[in-house]
Amino acid sequence: MAKKNKDKKRMKREMETMFAQAMWNAAGNNGAMPAGRRGLFGRLANAGADSQFILGALLGAAAIYVLGDEKLRGKLMKSGMNLYASLLGGIEEIREQAADIRAELEANADETL
């Protein structure tokens, strides 16, 4: 089953790459796509000043939309706090496991002496 999923993911990546290459060639650019110019943001970031302005305007509009919508902002803050809490919980769990392993190693060292 895992092999099937890997094959599907590989095929999806190949199809996306072929589509991007076809779009690149359709725009009049023959040959291989430069590595840094794949995707919408990659092309805009490496383009001229006008395109960079458009990218900044799009990102600014998205930020204004997110920060202006109180419900969405609340959901994002709640998600961020949940992520932070789970991250801290995971770190604490790792610390506990490290302390347990350290105690086991010390107990084994005392038994061998």
**pLDDT one-digit tens code per residue, 21-63:** 777 676 666 665 555 555 656 665 565 667 778 888 999 999 8
User: What six digits make up the tokens of 113?
Assistant: 């002496």
Percent of the chain at pLDDT exceeding 90: 31
Residue 44: what pLDDT? Answer: 57
User: Is the CA virtual torsion 87, 88, 94, 96 positive or negative?
Assistant: negative
What is the distance between the alpha carbons of residues 33 and 56, in angstroms, rounded to a whole number? 24
Q: What is the mean pLDDT of residues 92-106?
A: 94
Question: H helices of the chain, where?
Answer: 2-26, 40-45, 49-68, 70-112
* Mean pLDDT of the chain, nearest integer: 80
Does 6 score more than 60 pLDDT?
Answer: yes
Residue 91: what pLDDT? Answer: 95
